[in-house]
Structure 1
Amino acid sequence: MIRRMADGSSGDNGGLLRQRDFRHLWAADLISQLGTRVSYLAVPLLAVSTLNASAFEVSLLRAFQTVAYLLIGLQVGAWCDRIRCRPVLVVADLGRAVALGSVPLAAALGVLGIGQLYVVVFVVGVLTVFFDVAHQTYLPRLVERARLIEGNARLQGNASVAAVAAPTLAGYLVQWFTGAGGVLADAASYLWSALWLRSIHRPEQAPPREGSTRMREEIRAGLRLVSGDPILRAIAGSTATFCLAQAIYTAIIVVFLVRVVHLSPAAIGLLNTVGLTGALVAAFATRPLAALLGQARLLWLTVLVAAAGFVLVPLTGPGARLAFFAVGGFVTSFGIIACNIVEVSFQQARCPAHLLGRLNATVKFLMWGTISLGSVLGGVLAGLVGLRSTLWIAAMIVGLSTLWLVLSPLRRMRDLPTATPTPHADQAPAT
């Protein structure tokens, strides 16, 4: 079924972009992704270059940004199954714009400190939980399920374009205007996103109420859906393990490039742009690769590819050894984006509509929960064994993440099944 979806719209010139409402969702996502990616590099550079933060203090920024998934992630999934998602998206964008806008204001007044950055990234993280869960839940309400592969590929294409364009832009913004300028660009991007989302015309029907089911029972339904299906369980386990390693890497990579490789902000941005072109290639190559190889095969192969890229990064050094970072980044970003497109489309197609918010939240709870842990762990390991050794540890953990998939039923499949795995997953447990 997914194979037919992957091929089904290939002959449609422009595809979903010919549909006005999806085009507005796509436009909102494009600029928002670009701004987020600018801030992704600008905030740690601001902490390192302007506030002279340590590796551990920088790692805490990532932890504060992602810990909200541990606190409210599962509850948000249940809420998104009860309500219309588009208003959630608009309010989350406006809130993030206000929070991030406080950073350049404080910098201009000369009162910016690391404490304020922690508060801002935490608030943005809370609002991002609502946005991300609602966004993945909203797409199947906007487009036909037969076009989810195409829709997710278009949106992942935005992420890929942003991944390629934003690092260089962020590097020069930080070098010319300090990190506060990059954060201001991100705040403006969220305002842009909110305006485009508000302009979508198609009415979104409120989901039917599930009677008097309690929040705890609804959350447990989402957990049972993931834990009770061997394919969803393997995907969730692999994603969580991979994200643990990626968080260790992300928490220290800017510090590593500044203090070990001795690169300027502009050089760091340019180097990231070169490496992340793999994400752009994956956005266009995933659909034909899924048709050629099968979604199940492509899923575990892309994780192996990403793991291979991680092994190259610790070899990075000055001069010609910068090529290890560029090639490793290309391979890793290709594997991550291709894997994301297949995973998200499979989850959206396989999950009953009334459980989709809870499925998304459960997966993101596992994913971002391990990111919070990995962010702190990255800072601790950097202090104990050094920055380069910490990157080697992250690469080894990525390798372990592949075992979830290659030891699961996916290894014997070509295509992914889409039939609902647990017909009664939405029922409350017996008491």
Structure 2
Amino acid sequence: MPSAVSDSSRPVPSSLWRDGDFRRLWVGQTASQLGEHASLVVLPLFAVLTLNASAGQLGVLRAVGQAPILLLSLFVGAWVDRWRTRTVMVLTDVGRTLALGAAAVAGLLGWLGLPALLVVAFAVGALSVFFDVAYQASLVRLVKHNQLVRGNSALEGSRSAAQIGGPALGGALVSLLSAPIAAASSALFFALSFLSIRRIRRRESIPKSSERPPRIWRRIHEGLRFVISDSSLRTVCLASAAFQFSFAAMMTVYLLFLPRELHLSGTTVGLALAATGPGALLGSMLAARLPSRFGYGSVLVSAAALGDGAFLCVPALHGPSAVTIPTLLAVNFVLGTGGQLVNVTVMAVRQAVTPDGMQGRAAATITFVGMGLTPLGSLLGGFLAEEWGLRASLLVTAAGMMLSPVLMALSPLARLGRALPASQDAPPTPAHPDPRNGPR
């Protein structure tokens, strides 16, 4: 595919930005990601700073918010392949706006305790699973195949901007004002996403299915079989699972380590976390150029090793904030750069090898396998922090993240060249089932 190689080395062409529907998707996804990243900081910081939550309670809160990934991803992928992604994204934006709006009201009335936070975290997490699968499938239906890398780079760049503003905004509002106001700010971003995405005009061409489509379990099985049969996608699942499990454990410890061991304020914690945003923005820009120059496999392995390895120095931090804070900013910047470079490159590979009728299920299967263990990782992080202490737990969980680049380096994924691989055929489904047998 020579055109993919030559085009992906240039910035996003003006023709893509002149596409009003792509622009509306970009604006809506940016607002949605900003609200999501703000809420991911608001709820844990409220629990730690206001409710004095223990390490175990924080682990439970994060696990509840991540549980929908494990419980719903496969079903969501099967459903999204049969729905219009615009409808899915609009409905999830409405749901998250209402959930966080209710949390803001409950907080103002003094009812926002840990049980309410658990309910809100689960609701927002469940709806975010729908949105994330839908917007990835939506891009494939909106742009041409040779624009996938550039389109993903643009969308992931917007997510990078959300990573800059979301944690900083969430941490500052919790610290300076209140958790209810911080929750309300996230709700406003989801409302903005709703207003933008609902204006997408292009009628989606949903992949054709049989008159009596396979039952949900068969569709899920087809998605699992497709991903397992492809060596690249199979490696993506394993490497993602190793990283996300360790990262979830590390972040539970990290959110305790910063305020309690390094004595940082909520605002400073938010700013430290937000440093991944500028790094991710750089990573998304590099993803439009580096794979076509050095090869997709080489970029994936080296970016993962650099980004994940940076966190190994965090447990050694002591001393004055004049040294600690710049170091945290640098570490999070490197993590953001490497992580985003991996995210964009992996997404382009996954979309390239997956047929249109399998996009939702492939994305959901990888999400399920890759992130399904994150609730257990969060619980493990809370347990280790209570049993081993914060520094030792942070070192162990950060070291666990390095398993991801090792798995990629030992797999066929590392040997991918400078061109995206071709799409493989989707598993066959019965186009004309025998009516005498009924639906299967």
TM-score normalised by length of structure 1: 0.94
2-structure distance, mates of 1:397, 1:305: 14
Once the two structures are TM-superposed, the CA of residue 2 in structure 1 deviates from its matched residue by: 8.0
Task: Tell me which residue corresponds to 1:16.
Answer: 16
Contact 2:301 2:408 (C-alpha < 8 Å) held by counterparts: yes
Alignment partner, residue 115 of structure 2:
115
Match of 1:214 in 2: 215
Q: 1:411 to 1:209 in 2, by over 3 A?
A: closer
Amino acid at match of 2:67: V
Checking the alignment, whether the CA contact within 8 Å between 1:101 and 1:187 is kept in structure 2 is yes
Extract structure 1 runs of 4+ deviating beyond 4 A. Answer: none
Q: CA RMSD in A?
A: 1.9
Superposed CA offset, 1:94-115 (max 9, x none) = 0011011111111111111100
CA change 1:97–1:331 in 2 (3 A) is same
Shift, 1:166, TM fit: 2.6
Question: CA contact under 8 A between 2:9 and 2:288: conserved in structure 1?
Answer: no
Cα–Cα, structure 1 residues 297 and 181, in superposed 2: closer, same or farther, change >3 Å? same
In 1, the alpha carbon distance for the partners of 2:353 and 2:242 equals 23
1:352 equivalent in alignment to 2:360: no
1:416 offset after TM fit, Å? 5.5
Once structures 1 and 2 are overlaid, which stretch shifts more, 75-84 or 309-318? 309-318
In the other structure, the counterpart of 1:227 is 228
Per-residue CA shift, 1:196-225, capped at 9, x if unaligned? 011111111333123442221211111111
Correspondence 1:282-293 to 2 at 5 A: 282-293=283-294
Partner in structure 2 of residue 141 of structure 1: 141
Q: Is the 8 A contact 1:51 1:114 kept in 2?
A: yes
In 1, distance between residues paired with 2:239 and 2:249? Answer: 16
Please give the per-residue CA displacement for 1:333-368, whole angstroms capped at 9, x wherever unaligned. Answer: 111100000111111111011111110010000122
Match of 2:437 in 1: none
- How far did residue 313 of structure 1 move? 2.1
- 1:425 match: 427
Counterpart Cα distance in 1 of 2:4 and 2:203: 28
SS at match of 1:287: coil
Structure 1 residue 240 corresponds to structure 2 residue 241: yes
Residues 181-204 of structure 1: CA deviation (Å, up to 9, x unaligned): 221111111111011011111111
Q: How many pairs were matched up?
A: 428
Structure-2 separation of matches of 1:62 and 1:113: 15
Offset at 1:167?
2.6
C-alpha distance in structure 1 between counterparts of 2:302 and 2:178, whole Å: 40
Retained in 2: the 8 A contact 1:303–1:335? yes
Secondary structure at the counterpart of residue 427 of structure 2:
coil
- Asked if the contact 1:248–1:378 (Cα under 8 Å) also holds between the matched residues in 2, the reply is yes
Does the CA contact (< 8 Å) of 1:312 and 1:325 recur in 2? no
- Take 2:118 and 2:104, find their aligned partners in 1: how far apart are those partners? 14
Could you tell me which residue of structure 2 aligns to residue 40 of structure 1? 40
Task: Give the Å deviation of 1:417.
Answer: 4.6
Match of residue 414 from structure 1 = 417
Q: Which amino acid aligns with 1:26?
A: W
What is residue 299 of structure 1 aligned with on the other side? 300
CA contact (8 A) 1:7 1:287 kept: no
Instruction: Indicate which of 394, 403, 406 corresponds to 1:403.
Output: 406
**Matches of 2:247 and 2:202, distance apart in 1:** 37
Amino acid at match of 1:356: Q
The question of whether the paired residues in 1 share the 8 Å contact of 2:36 and 2:186 is answered with yes
Is 2:29 aligned against 1:29? yes
Listed as ranges, the matches of 1:15-414 within 5 Å are 15-210=15-210, 211-319=212-320, 320-414=323-417
Opposite residue 425 of structure 1, the aligned amino acid is P
- Matches of 2:274 and 2:130, distance apart in 1: 29
CA spacing shift, 1:11–1:232, aligned 2, 3 Å: closer
**Residue 170 of structure 1, CA deviation:** 2.2
Q: CA deviation at 1:11?
A: 6.6
What amino acid is aligned across from residue 344 of structure 1 in structure 2?
Answer: M
Counterpart residue type for residue 124 of structure 1 = V
Fraction of identical pairs, as percent: 36
Aligned residue type for 2:409: V
Question: How far 1:12 moved relative to its partner?
Answer: 6.3
* CA offsets 1:150-202 (integer angstroms, 9 cap, x no match): 11111111111121223322222112212222211111111110110111111
Task: Give TM-score, length-normalised by structure 2.
Answer: 0.92
Query: Are the aligned partners of 2:29 and 2:135 in contact in 1 as well (CA < 8 Å)?
Result: no
User: Which amino acid in structure 2 is aligned with residue 270 of structure 1?
Assistant: L
